[in-house]
Structure 1
């Protein structure tokens, strides 16, 4: 009788231990789940991007990812976030509401190289009347980018647009300077990435994926 009672007590204790072990394993699941989530994050050239992000009071979705590079030189991976993903460049350019262009830097370079690429492309392809309207604000935005100094692998640069506030520059999640007004300015910047005369056509194709 006593042996039977001890056996039942052992079984109960063993069962409790198994439950506790299960809980302790379960307590470790978030880390495993997080790793799995990281694996599932959209990525290109090893650069991971969140599928969604908050900007202002809106949730934006990742429209696509594109690599900016020449031959074997990889400068950055760009991600475009919009409220309603689309494969139509015209629709994206005309879309109201907040937007984000996120650049994940892959090589060391002075930020003024990015500035030259940005301003040069706009000056080459925007009509004179548009450039006249943008000139002063484009100079201010270029100055903000120049002020960043040296960019290095692992840096993240965001060009954000928030209606009624303007174009915001953020580097590694920190704001740089004040916003520069104008959805027309942001549209000119976005054209560099997805317009008819992009700085990199392969990058454009990736950014126009239409969502994840």
Structure 2
């Protein structure tokens, strides 16, 4: 009996993946995100659409899964990862999209120096296959493009506004919000 239990336990360890991931539109979405010793888990995924075009697959990583936007917004550490599907998004489009999101939340955000620095940092083109990570850790925002650091921005106002663009009351894309919250 002990041998059977041991064999079954061994099979479970071999069969159950530790780094769950899923594939969407040919893109591997990892089940975990490692950030300075923190293991964040995939909360949900969704498409960012513009005029019926799927621009990117968004993935939200948190310390613990939740479908409550208030818990996501108040979570100390969260990552929004964008896996671009569209052939090319120009730097001006990237910057304008974030600018519109900030204006929707609060026009005064654009007066913040950290918000302006962030907007200037996201002025880069992206092409199909590129990945952009927005790491929000308390009052620090780190931007990565294809794993390379673009910049760090220390601002609670920026950190709070950035996550609200995705899962706040008036998100940039309501379908993406539902997916990130794991509701789709």
Q: Check the 8 A contact 1:161/1:183 in 2, yes or no.
A: no
Gaps of 5+ in 1: 1-32
Write the mapping of 1:60-209 to structure 2, written as runs, cut at 5 A.
60-96=40-76, 98-107=77-86, 108-126=88-106, 128=108, 131=109, 135-146=112-123, 149-163=124-138, 166-177=140-151, 179-209=152-182
What are the Cα deviations for residues 159-208 of structure 1, in whole angstroms up to 9, with x where unaligned?
112346x111110001113x100233122011111111011111111000
- Tell me, in whole angstroms, the C-alpha distance in 2 between the residues paired with 1:124 and 1:162: 23
Aligned residues: 166
Misfit runs of 4+, over 6 Å: none
> How far is 1:43 from its partner?
3.2
Gaps of 5+ in 2: 1-13
Q: Check the 8 A contact 2:105/2:161 in 1, yes or no.
A: no
Write the mapping of 1:15-34 to structure 2, written as runs, cut at 5 A.
none
Q: Check the 8 A contact 2:69/2:168 in 1, yes or no.
A: yes
Secondary structure of the residue that 2:112 maps to in structure 1? helix
Q: TM-score, normalised by structure 2?
A: 0.81
What are the Cα deviations for residues 109-141 of structure 1, in whole angstroms up to 9, with x where unaligned?
11331221112121122274xx27x62111000
Q: TM-score, normalised by structure 1?
A: 0.71
- Note if 1:55 corresponds to 2:28: no
Larger Rg: 1
Q: More strand by proportion, 1 or 2?
A: 2
- Tell me, in whole angstroms, the C-alpha distance in 1 between the residues paired with 2:169 and 2:138: 24
- Report the RMSD for the aligned CA atoms in angstroms: 2.2
